[in-house]
């Protein structure tokens, strides 16, 4: 590996291996420098945090040294879509160009693979509980696919939507997997995927899978990590949130109801005469449902203290715990009747422990206990106040290289916020600007005379400000909203405005179709306006004239009512630190950089980034925000914006 540096210069040159083998490849100084920094980190088993602006080509920059390293590499991505793209397209392309005999495996969470055991049970069950005939049709398609597929990955069956309800009946969970006791163990798709991963030189996973395994030892990586020389996290800006999710615990009333129904199904087969169990099941299900009305808000997050103040909540939670104790005790006496019933008993114990811990850990000071409400269920969550200590322990278990890369990790090239959150005290950092010509390709526009975002008619004011810009852009716009509520309101007001002014730009809304279907429609139409929320702030790539305007409704500060955020702010305050400057503002800047990154995707793109928030100009911290964005020319003059867009 030590002689790789001069070799990288040749590989990434304008007439090197990549240029000769990959159509449209362009040599970039930033890409070569990034590849060299990653090669150095791999060779010296260092921790490197590497930020690379849009267009740097960071995927190739980490893949080339990783494929040439000669060691075992785990590559973790932000989404399953990016995972598939790396495995099916990017890695084969680079591997072929370099002519290296590296074996690669794709490993996903068990919910992505058909389970022969649960498929068989579902096929043999009464289909009456299925919602409609479509589910029965999907079931037959899955059956045929399972008989012919070599991997059983549900992404290979595009005739059944990924979110179709039938999947939960034909895949396994950690709780209901029978493991080596399963009659189909030898044909298990999950075990097959793990075997391939164990033998491969490079394994492509996603962040959820990585952290599920680190914490739960469930997904096969625990066997891979000891032998692994390098771990690379792409889209590493997502890690603090994903790690918080997995370093904590959660259990929902929906999971309790599902467990009750699974027990009921099995008990009818093997313990029909044991009536106390059926009484206990009914009582546990009732207790799970009775807790829902004690919290009236839906799609809300409440702290332990706030929830405890709601009339009836604490009593309902105590009753639920008692009913789960009774159910678990009865299940223990019947568990010997079948493997499935024993499994259900273990699941009941695990759920009971989580409900208990949710209550007990709220006093610990290191754990945040909170609840989240949905339309039909309520979820108990515990989140660590900080993930730094837990994650830094993972870094120090064995000597290996750890690479963290994304387009958005720093605030004006200062990585202290990210490194502090992740516990990366010893990390080296590096940053490369985008090779794009932002001063000429993009314009940053902050309109004048907008009120403070907290005023009642702020959204109506946004519509007045964006309409002339949308007209100047001739549609071709993303409107990125900081909440689903804002998204719905802006979409409704825009609909009315388009009708009144007889504007015929197609208006698309997140949620009307899948993200990929909406993006295809947006590209094809060429003059559409797409209103979206979090799903469209990152991981979205629309090149060319179809997207010439990105509008952001307000600076993406997290809601101070969020129980996790408020607990972390309180911790900073207790330590005598400035929570706003050290935590909230850097977090907001990194999020804003993601949204702004949707605009310029290649060297030919041109467009306007419109941020509808006067705080960018009026507040002292505003300068820190816009200085962290790419170096676009700035204006507050609508005529200048109209003139710029006329030429796009």
- Give the mean pLDDT of the chain: 92
pLDDT in tens, 565-621: 999 999 899 999 999 999 999 999 999 999 999 999 999 999 999 999 999 999 999
403 band by pLDDT with thresholds 50, 70 and 90: very high
- Angstrom distance (rounded) from CA 510 to CA 304: 32
CA trace torsion 184, 186, 191, 192 (10° rounding): -120
Strand partners, 105: 203
pLDDT for residue 2 is more than 70: no
The pLDDT score that the predictor gives to residue 595 is 95
390 band by pLDDT with thresholds 50, 70 and 90: confident
| Share above pLDDT 70 across residues of the chain, in percent, rounded to a whole number | 97
CA trace torsion 127, 132, 133, 135 (10° rounding): -70
The pLDDT score that the predictor gives to residue 590 is 95
Nearest to 141 by CA among 117, 119, 108: 119
Tokens of 634: 């700035």
- Angstrom distance (rounded) from CA 557 to CA 512: 26
Across 125-140, average pLDDT: 76
What is the three-state SS of 13-48? CCCCHHHHHCCCCCCCHHHHHHHHHHHHHHHCCCEE
| Burial degree of 455 (CB within 10 A; 0-12, 13-18, 19+) | exposed
448 sits in the region (left: phi over 0; alpha: psi -120 to 50; else beta) called beta
645 band by pLDDT with thresholds 50, 70 and 90: very high
- Angstrom distance (rounded) from CA 513 to CA 341: 40
Task: Please list, in sequence order, all residues whose beta carbon lies within 8 angstroms of the beta carbon of residue 170, skipping any fewer than 6 positions away.
Answer: 114, 115, 118, 119, 122, 139, 142
pLDDT for residue 444 is more than 90: yes
109 band by pLDDT with thresholds 50, 70 and 90: confident
Taken in order of first residue, the domains within the chain and their CATH numbers are: 4-109+191-245+390-432 (3.40.50.300), 112-172 (no CATH), 247-384 (1.10.275), 438-646 (3.40.50.300)
> Phi then psi for 112, rounded to 5 degrees?
-90, -5
pLDDT in tens, 280-294: 999 999 999 999 999
The pLDDT score that the predictor gives to residue 175 is 76
User: E strands, 546-606, where?
Assistant: 549-552
Tokens of 426: 């010893």
Nearest to 235 by CA among 102, 81, 118: 81
Length of the chain: 648
| Share above pLDDT 90 across residues of the chain, in percent, rounded to a whole number | 75
The pLDDT score that the predictor gives to residue 129 is 62
Across 450-475, average pLDDT: 95
Residue with tokens 């989240």: 372
């Amino acid at each position: 590996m030590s002689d790789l540096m001069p070799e990288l210069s040749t590989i990434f040159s304008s007439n090197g291996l990549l240029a000769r083998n990959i159509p449209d490849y362009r040599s970039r100084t930033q890409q070569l420098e990034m590849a060299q920094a990653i090669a150095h980190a791999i060779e010296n088993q260092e921790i490197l945090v590497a930020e690379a602006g849009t267009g740097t080509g960071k995927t190739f920059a980490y893949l080339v040294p990783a494929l040439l390293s000669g060691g075992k590499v785990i590559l973790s991505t932000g989404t399953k879509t990016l995972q598939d793209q790396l495995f099916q397209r990017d890695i084969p392309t680079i591997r072929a160009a370099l002519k290296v005999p590296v074996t690669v495996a794709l490993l996903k969470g068990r919910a992505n693979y058909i389970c022969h055991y649960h498929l068989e049970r579902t096929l043999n069950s009464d289909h009456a509980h299925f919602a409609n005939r479509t589910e029965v049709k999907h079931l037959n398609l899955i059956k045929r696919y399972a008989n012919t597929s070599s991997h059983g990955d549900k992404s290979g069956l595009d005739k059944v939507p990924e979110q179709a309800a039938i999947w939960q009946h034909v895949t396994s969970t950690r709780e209901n997997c029978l493991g080596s006791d399963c009659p189909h163990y030898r044909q298990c798709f999950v075990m097959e995927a793990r075997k391939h991963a164990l033998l491969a030189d490079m394994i492509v996973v996603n962040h959820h899978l990585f952290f599920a395994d680190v914490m739960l030892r469930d997904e096969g990586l625990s066997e891979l990590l000891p032998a692994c020389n390098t771990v690379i996290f792409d889209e590493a800006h997502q890690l603090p949130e994903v790690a918080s999710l997995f370093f904590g615990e959660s259990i929902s009333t929906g999971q309790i109801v599902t467990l009750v129904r699974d027990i009921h199904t099995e008990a009818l087969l093997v313990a029909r005469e044991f009536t106390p169990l059926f009484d206990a099941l009914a009582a546990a299900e009732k207790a799970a449902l009775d807790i829902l009305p004690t919290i009236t808000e839906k799609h809300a997050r409440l702290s332990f203290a706030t929830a405890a103040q709601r009339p009836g909540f604490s009593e309902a939670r105590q009753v639920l715990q008692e009913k789960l104790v009774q159910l678990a005790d009865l299940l223990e006496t019947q568990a010997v009747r079948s493997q499935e019933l024993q499994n259900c008993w273990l699941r009941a114990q695990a759920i009971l422990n989580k409900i208990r811990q949710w209550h007990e850990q709220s006093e610990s000071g290191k754990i945040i206990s909170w609840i989240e409400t949905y339309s039909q269920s309520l979820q108990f969550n515990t989140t660590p106040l900080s993930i730094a200590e837990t994650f830094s322990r993972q870094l120090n278990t064995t000597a290996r290289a750890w690479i963290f890369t994304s387009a958005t990790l720093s605030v004006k090239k200062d990585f202290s916020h990210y490194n502090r959150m992740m516990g990366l005290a010893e990390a080296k950092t590096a940053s490369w600007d985008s090779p794009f010509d932002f001063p000429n390709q993009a314009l940053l526009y902050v309109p004048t005379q907008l009120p403070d975002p907290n005023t009642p008619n702020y959204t109506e004011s946004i519509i007045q400000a964006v309409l002339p810009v949308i007209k100047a852009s001739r549609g071709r716009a993303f409107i990125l909203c900081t909440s689903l509520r804002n998204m719905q309101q802006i979409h409704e007001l825009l609909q009315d405005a388009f009708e009144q002014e007889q504007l015929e730009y197609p208006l698309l809304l997140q949620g009307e179709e899948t993200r990929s279907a909406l993006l295809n429609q947006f590209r094809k139409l060429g003059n559409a306006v797409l209103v979206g929320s979090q799903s469209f702030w990152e991981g979205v790539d629309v090149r060319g004239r179809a997207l010439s305007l990105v509008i952001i409704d307000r600076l993406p500060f997290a809601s101070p009512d969020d129980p996790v955020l408020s607990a972390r702010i309180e911790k900073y305050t207790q330590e005598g630190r400035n929570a706003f400057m050290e935590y909230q503002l850097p977090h907001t800047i990194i999020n804003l950089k993601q949204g702004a990154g949707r605009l310029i995707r290649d060297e030919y793109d041109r467009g306007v980034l419109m941020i509808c928030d006067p705080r960018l100009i009026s507040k002292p911290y505003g300068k820190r925000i816009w200085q962290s964005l790419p170096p676009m020319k700035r204006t507050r003059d609508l005529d200048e914006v109209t003139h710029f867009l006329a030429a796009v």
